[in-house]
Structure 1
Amino acid sequence: MIDNGSSADILSARVYDELRLDRKDLEPFHVPLKGFGGAEVRSLGTVKLPVRFARAVTSTHALKIKFPTEFGVRELRGSREMARRANLSIFKDKAGMETLNIFEVDRKVQEDNPENFELDPRDKTSREKEEPTKSVILDETEPDKTCHEDMLGIDRSVISHNLAVNEKCKPVVQKRRSFNPERSAAIKEEVSKLLAARSIREVKYPEWVANVVLVKKKNNQWRMCVDFTDLNKACPNDSFPLPRIDQLVDATAGHETLSFMDAYSGYNQIKMHKPDEEKTAFTTDQGLYCYTVMPFGLKKATYQRLVNKMFARQIGRNMEVYVDDMLTKHITADRHTDDLRETFDVLVKYGMKLNPTKCVFGVPSGRFLGYQVHQRGIEVNPEKIQALAKMVSPRTLKDVQKLTGCLASLSRFIAKSTDRCLPFFKALKKGKGIEWNEDCEKAFQALKDYLGQTPLLSKPETGETLYMYLSVSEAATSSVLVRQEDEIQKPIYYTSKALLPAETRYSPAEKMALTLITAAMKLRPYFQAHKIGVYTNCPLKLILQKPEVSGRLTKWVIELSEFDVEYLPRTSIKAQAVADFVAEFTEPSIEVARMMVEQNKKVFKWQLRVDGSTNTHGSGAGVVVSTPERDSVECALRFDFKAINNQAEYEALVAGLKVCTVLGADEVEIFSDSQVVVNQVLDEY
């Protein structure tokens, strides 16, 4: 029961379990609930869940809710008289009621009063564990306030931003742009702040001059940037490697306690290299200024170099850092305060300031690099799902590009994303304009339904064997990487790739091999760190063992040789998310051999030749299996029991069929010189 005017929204335990929610996420709630009958009920706990009801619009003040239907907009109205009576009864009984203070979800440290800091009620640590965490945070936030005027920045002896401008490049002075009064006022205000913070200074006769650019923020305020396009062209590219986001997210998931930290104007805490300051000059109505600190928009990974140096002993152990996003983690909550203190010691040593209003400490879950991470695994960011759910059907090129961009950021969670998005890609084909047809609309609505129940992705454990399922359709290849836990297969990563025109003409077996090599290249860190078992009913092992028939197969074999890959026959699937991946859109891989026969006349069927014999020395059988690619598998068997000739022929047939099953054959042509065996198999006698 959900009521935005009620003091409590009720969800039964049965419905909670059917939603596949973890009871570990429930927070203790000790205040009993009293129903209309007067009986008290003890709840299992409280949990914060996103709720969406179609495209309804509610108004608590007007006691109305409007929502679209196939018959037009409909309206539900509440009773004002009942609302008045409910309010009166609440105030009447308030003096004798037991109350519970519920704090906001985001925990904040107020800059002007650190004592007002409150720990998030979602944190499952006991009060004894909360107090040390609170103490550590207060110790580090009390000494001084974080503001522009107080920021001394990182000492130049540690690091500074060096442009390394190519001397052969001619300096560029951009033509001054004009702004309307509103934007001019915003520029003037920002320049005043930067001057007060000593982040910029006035400059005379600069050789490089850029214009300012204003960008509207979500809160309708203006962000001032500088157009350093010309200056960046004169600077060399920085090849310093940034961490892989996927690896950072995997390394974060599975920890009981997390703390998220954000540097206060992080880039501005790094000083410019003195000789390069005047090259960052920009023009405004107030005059010419240049940066004394590193501004946004310049090339080079100076900030990542800094944090890698600062937290070198912590990264990978109890901390993860991606540019200015910092996270402290621990498997259990009892040692998290020690990790925080170690992190704060480093921050104090280097003089880096945090923005307390954007920091969250000691929580079981949070958003990191666009993902929702917690102890159970990785989930999609709810804000992205909500944005797609509210999105109307695209009508312009920009709308479709925006949609495909959003879906690209969610591709890790979407099984066969290319197949699902194929109508959108067709609508974007050059020369055809935007054709948002019925197929596009169906795919759009199907994606909304699918994203409403995206799977929880698991985190691989060190050294464990991972498994992969492959899928091929007419236009795309797809795969899913899974791990097995308690006989349940949990997805880790979904991949998908559209086939190029030349790739659509590959044989089905080559398409399956292409699917594997594509997944291996995209998921290289997983393939390098784990043994991979590939579930397929296609004879990939035989195909890749004799790649001399195709130059591209030879190349793929070389690329796969660095990984530990084992090919396994597909068995029963032990997870619904994986089962859906295998079932939907797929040309079932068990039919790959049949597809190969139908594709062209040069491809042969599976052939099985068997022969059994017996003599005075014993009995045995010979089996030869020929694959559609003309590869042969030969087996010789010697029986440990006495058998007549017909029994040996039957044993040879059974052994040969077992070999074909392991190889993934679906349709087999059998050859035998025993009329008894042949006629009985054909049901002739």
Structure 2
Amino acid sequence: MDIALIRASRFLRNTKDRKTETFITSLSEIEKAIEDKRAEDRSVQEEREIKEQLPEQYHEFVDVFSKIKSDDLPERKEYDHRIELEKEVELGYCPLYYITAEELQAAKDYIVENLDKGFIVPSNAPYASPILIAKKPGGGLRFCVDYRRLNSLTRKDRYPLPLIDEVFERISKAKIFTKLDIRQGFYRIRMHQESSDLTTFRCRYGTFKYEVMPFGLTNGPATFQRLINDIFLDCLDKFLIAFVDDLLIYSEDAVEHEIHVRMVLQRLRDAGLQASIKKCEFHVTTTKYLGFIITPEGIKVDPAKIEAVLTWKIPTTVRGVQSFLGFCNFYRKFIAEYGRIAKPLYYLTRQDVPFVWAKQCGEAFEKLKQALVSAPVLVYYNPNKLTRVETDASDGVVAAVLSQLYNDREWHPVGYYSATISTAEHNYDIYDKEILAII
């Protein structure tokens, strides 16, 4: 078959020829057919790539890992995100921030892509937040909206996130793990129609608002955690941990584990949520979760975090000290006598203390770094094993370590504890101070 442009007169002559078959179409129909074919090709290619990374027994759940599906605008549901302000205020327009040509191009690409998806739409709201462009840890640029003013005026949703210590108590008997990362989790929740205008942002290319829940809103994690908890309520703490968009499935054997994984994947499908296949792990005995390395034997500090702390430069400001202490505090359960070691640094952050990096500050800084480098494996608490609590109190700090006796006849730490005592507690006898650590 040949396709060619012809004059109208030639076309009329051809239509009179009974041997000539005539068809009518339009460019729009052709373009739609081409686009449908491209979409079909993309879908086939995506399915092939997912199956290469997905264990064969889960191939029926290929759609749960579809990026194409995660780019569809989700339906409105009862979980649509609302923003309630503490009081009626004039939000106004925040000033635009300067961004480089490269960052401007990244912003334009993001806006064009998300306009096409329907995730954002033009806005005429009388207020808007500015944008920021941040560097991604693995390279590339991330589009962000600075919602700090909006967040400061928002009534806080106190829906709780899981406590990390509680999370790890649930997996003490687990031998096998599967980790799922929900793709574009926040974008799978719509903004409530009455709150969408509040998400308006502006930049060089205009003003836009979100139709889906954007990152950076103060109550975003609470809204998403509520959705996840409702989806998996009967699974939580039995074989599933769900911390916002990070899911960890744990089981005692492979047969049981496959049943658990299938159940979770089906729930994700029913809820219209997708997982990122590149960030998932299936049927492993060791995995990284919430900044820790999880194994059947216990919990370890993530080696990547150890590498980061080794290259940490000496802080030159109070904020720098606070940042370092915040990092170390996250892992304080691994550090014996953390409160005593860090005391000079905490003293330096007091408002009535001038910033002077004294010798004891440098020593505390290096000791904390070394403590993280040599952090032990913390075993899971087992109520059936012999348990020992050792306490100490001195220099205004109480400290303790909880240990258990294992089959190798060695005491293994479950966790370390330390805290600064109050002015009134300073007057306690030494024995009472040590009892504080137990309490």
Do the two structures share a fold, i.e. TM-score over 0.5? yes
Counterpart of 1:379 in 2: which secondary structure? strand
Question: Structure 1 501/211 Cα, relative in aligned 2: closer, same or farther at 3 Å?
Answer: same
Amino acid paired to 2:106:
A
Of 255, 258, 262, the residue aligned with 2:177 is 258
Name which of structure 1's ranges 212-221 and 393-402 shifts more when overlaid on structure 2: 393-402
Q: Structure 2 CA distance, aligned partners of 1:212 and 1:503?
A: 48
The residue aligned with 2:418 is 496
| 1:153-192 aligned within 5 A | 153=74, 155-166=75-86, 168-180=87-99, 181-192=101-112
Contact 2:186-2:215 within 8 A present in 1 as well: yes
Q: Structure 1 CA distance, aligned partners of 2:70 and 2:270?
A: 19
Q: Give deviations 1:42-87, integer Å, cap 9, x for gaps.
A: xxxxxxxxxxxxxxxxxxxxxxxxxxxxxxxxxxxxxxxxxxxxxx
Of 342, 347, 356, the residue aligned with 1:435 is 356
Q: Structure 2 CA distance, aligned partners of 1:478 and 1:171?
A: 49
The residue aligned with 1:240 is 159
Contact 2:73-2:117 within 8 A present in 1 as well: no
Question: Structure 1 194/485 Cα, relative in aligned 2: closer, same or farther at 3 Å?
Answer: same
Corresponding position: 1:514 with 2:433: no
Q: Structure 2 CA distance, aligned partners of 1:344 and 1:260?
A: 11
Q: Structure 1 CA distance, aligned partners of 2:258 and 2:400?
A: 41
Higher relative CO (Cα under 8 Å, sequence separation at least 6) belongs to 2
Of 230, 236, 240, the residue aligned with 1:315 is 236
Compute the displacement of 1:464 (Å).
6.3
Corresponding position: 1:113 with 2:48: yes
Amino acid paired to 2:160:
P
The residue aligned with 1:272 is 191
Compute the displacement of 1:220 (Å).
4.0
The residue aligned with 1:223 is 142
Amino acid paired to 1:511:
K
The residue aligned with 1:349 is 270
Q: Structure 2 CA distance, aligned partners of 1:398 and 1:237?
A: 25
Question: Structure 1 359/115 Cα, relative in aligned 2: closer, same or farther at 3 Å?
Answer: closer
Counterpart of 1:412 in 2: which secondary structure? helix
In structure 1, list runs of 5 or more residues that go unmatched: 1-109, 119-132, 518-685
Question: Structure 1 234/459 Cα, relative in aligned 2: closer, same or farther at 3 Å?
Answer: same
Q: Structure 1 CA distance, aligned partners of 2:112 and 2:77?
A: 28
Corresponding position: 1:303 with 2:224: yes
- TM-align CA RMSD: 2.6
Q: Structure 2 CA distance, aligned partners of 1:310 and 1:400?
A: 40
The residue aligned with 1:211 is 130
Corresponding position: 1:284 with 2:206: no
Of 369, 377, 395, the residue aligned with 2:298 is 377
Contact 2:66-2:275 within 8 A present in 1 as well: no
Name which of structure 1's ranges 237-246 and 436-445 shifts more when overlaid on structure 2: 436-445
Contact 1:389-1:448 within 8 A present in 2 as well: yes
Q: Give deviations 1:236-288, integer Å, cap 9, x for gaps.
A: 22121221111112223442111111111100100111222122211122222
Corresponding position: 1:339 with 2:260: yes
In structure 2, list runs of 5 or more residues that go unmatched: 1-44
Counterpart of 2:170 in 1: which secondary structure? helix
The residue aligned with 2:114 is 194
Amino acid paired to 2:190:
K
Compute the displacement of 1:377 (Å).
0.8
| 1:476-495 aligned within 5 A | 476-486=397-407, 487-495=409-417
**For this pair of structures, how many residues does the alignment match?**
391
Name which of structure 1's ranges 213-222 and 311-320 shifts more when overlaid on structure 2: 213-222
Contact 1:415-1:494 within 8 A present in 2 as well: yes
Compute the displacement of 1:116 (Å).
6.3
Q: Give deviations 1:351-381, integer Å, cap 9, x for gaps.
A: 1011111111111111111111110011111
Counterpart of 2:287 in 1: which secondary structure? strand
Question: Structure 1 163/175 Cα, relative in aligned 2: closer, same or farther at 3 Å?
Answer: closer
Question: Structure 1 438/136 Cα, relative in aligned 2: closer, same or farther at 3 Å?
Answer: same
TM-score (normalised: structure 2): 0.81
Counterpart of 2:162 in 1: which secondary structure? coil
Q: Structure 1 CA distance, aligned partners of 2:91 and 2:365?
A: 46
Counterpart of 1:219 in 2: which secondary structure? coil
Q: Say which one has the larger Rg.
A: 1
Counterpart of 1:307 in 2: which secondary structure? helix
Question: Structure 1 482/182 Cα, relative in aligned 2: closer, same or farther at 3 Å?
Answer: same
Question: Structure 1 174/466 Cα, relative in aligned 2: closer, same or farther at 3 Å?
Answer: farther
Corresponding position: 1:362 with 2:283: yes
Amino acid paired to 2:433:
K
